[in-house]
Amino acid sequence: MMIIYVRSGRETLSWSFPSLLGLGRQIHQSSSLIEEQLDPFSLVSDELSLVANRLRAMVIAEVPKLASAAEYFFKLGVEGKRFRPTVLLLMATALNVHIPESVGGGVGDIVTTELRTRQQSIAEITEMIHVASLLHDDVLDDADKRRGIGSLNAVMGNKLAVLAGDFLLSRACVALAALKNTEVVSLVATVVENLVMGETMQMTTSSEQRCSMDYYMQKTYYKTASLISNSCKAIALLAGQTAEVAMLAFEYGKNLGLAFQLIDDVLDFTGTSASLGKGSLSDIQQGIVTAPILFAMEEFPQLHAIVYQGFDNPENIEIALEYLGKSHGMERTKELAMKHANLAAAAIDSLPESNDENVIRSRRALVDLTQRVITRNK
């Protein structure tokens, strides 16, 4: 259950966890999803190409070295899964806005096309912020791989990697200002603040905080879910949707983001370096305690002593992995991911009804993504 505290006009999120045992049910599926299986990415493939091309144009810099660094993860073949742009483009259509079939029609067509371009801009801004955060994270983590290739800091050095991330954030700010929507600007500014807060929480945890699930989920929201949740809400605001619909879009993004990260936590223990595009066991080797270990600690309190000591000693990693293997930590993490995936799907099902086929198909795709997130292996 999530509890929202309001302090000085700001929302503070807190999580409490009822027993998840027995929750391992089939992920929520709306009846319409069963009717037709579809590929969410193929629904917006043309737009994804358009967004990708625009992004490559937006990150061009006059200084050659900076240009090479900024475009490093936007080049063909290393753009990543493009998960966030896909979610945002589908959300735009799911909220009764779709690309008009006719071009050069009436005023309505022009307005709809302009709105769609503005929503595509949110997808571009989100991707630039996401990649900037990856560049900065890799420097902080001293990572040597990202998306299956050498990380930018390993290839070009820390200083250039940091500057490239700063450059991407500046380009995102320019694109954001062009939207001339103060509420959307405020949302995205909050995202950048949350990213910094989440990374700082991860770097400066006390022994007690490292053992707290509430602390971990708050950090996860800041580092992973804030970007997609606030971007989904921005899509709704640009479309002129009600506050209620905007909050449903936010809830979808928040719960999808949390489910995504929880499965990442599982994959860090079960995936291979090749499938993940980065080193497996990377979190625990950096001393980061994630959900599977936190759940294992509930079953084996003696794990607390190991976590307090940290994981600089490889023997402590081996001991922690041994306890994890004997516990239900992995299963409970998957169940928690499923719970959040179900909440994301429920948010889509709560949107106002529509008879538009494009709207229905996009909503079905968004629900389908909740299942893909928790069944993925990379």
pLDDT recorded at residue 31: 41
pLDDT recorded at residue 2: 45
Structure token digits, residue 145:
């791989």
Per-residue three-class SS string for the chain: CEEEEEECCEEEEEECCCCCCCCCCCCCCCHHHHHCCCCHHHHCHHHHHHHHHHHHHHCCCCCHHHHHHHCCCCCCCCCCCCHHHHHHHHHHHHCCCCCCCCCCCCHHHHHHHHHHHHHHHHHHHHHHHHHHHHHHHHHHHCCCEECCEECHHHHHCHHHHHHHHHHHHHHHHHHHHHCCCHHHHHHHHHHHHHHHHHHHHHHCCCHHHHCCHHHHHHHHHHHHHHHHHHHHHHHHHHCCCCHHHHHHHHHHHHHHHHHHHHHHHHHHHHCCHHHHCCCCCHHHHCCCCCHHHHHHHHHCCCHHHHHHHCCCCHHHHHHHHHHHHHCCHHHHHHHHHHHHHHHHHHHHHCCCCCCCHHHHHHHHHHHHHHHHHHHCCC
pLDDT recorded at residue 7: 37
> Tokens 């450059």 belong to which residue?
167
pLDDT recorded at residue 69: 79
Structure token digits, residue 361:
């198909």
Confidence of residue 14 (pLDDT cuts 50, 70, 90): very low
Helical (H) or strand (E) element with 188: helix 182-203
Choose the weakest-confidence range: 112-121, 225-234, 252-261. 112-121
Greater confidence (32 vs 242) lies with 242
Strand 145-146 relative to strand 149-150, pairing: antiparallel
pLDDT tens sequence across 292-347: 999 999 999 999 998 888 887 888 889 999 999 999 999 999 999 999 999 999 99
pLDDT recorded at residue 9: 39
pLDDT recorded at residue 219: 96
Identify the top-confidence range among 40-54, 137-151, 183-197, 281-295: 183-197
Q: Are 119 and 97 in contact (CB under 8 A)?
A: yes
pLDDT recorded at residue 79: 55
Structure token digits, residue 214:
């509430």
Sign of CA dihedral 203, 209, 213, 214: negative
Q: Are 303 and 266 in contact (CB under 8 A)?
A: no
Instruction: Look at residue 104 and tell me whether its pLDDT is greater than 70.
Output: no
pLDDT recorded at residue 75: 67
Q: What's the predicted TM-score (pTM) here?
A: 0.82
Identify the top-confidence range among 77-86, 89-98, 145-154, 228-237: 228-237
Instruction: Look at residue 242 and tell me whether its pLDDT is greater than 70.
Output: yes
Instruction: Look at residue 4 and tell me whether its pLDDT is greater than 60.
Output: no
Mean pLDDT of 149-159: 78
Confidence of residue 348 (pLDDT cuts 50, 70, 90): very high
- Per the prediction, the chain carries an average pLDDT of 82
CATH code of the domain made up of 42-97+106-375:
1.10.600.10
Q: Are 185 and 129 in contact (CB under 8 A)?
A: no
Greater confidence (2 vs 6) lies with 2
pLDDT recorded at residue 17: 42
Greater confidence (343 vs 76) lies with 343
The count of other CB atoms within 10 Å of the CB of residue 298 is 15
Greater confidence (299 vs 79) lies with 299
Q: List all residues 6 or more positions away from 56 whose beta carbon is below 8 Å from its beta carbon.
A: 71, 74, 75
User: Cα separation of 348 and 252, whole Å?
Assistant: 7
Structure token digits, residue 278:
């980065």
Mean pLDDT of 255-276: 82
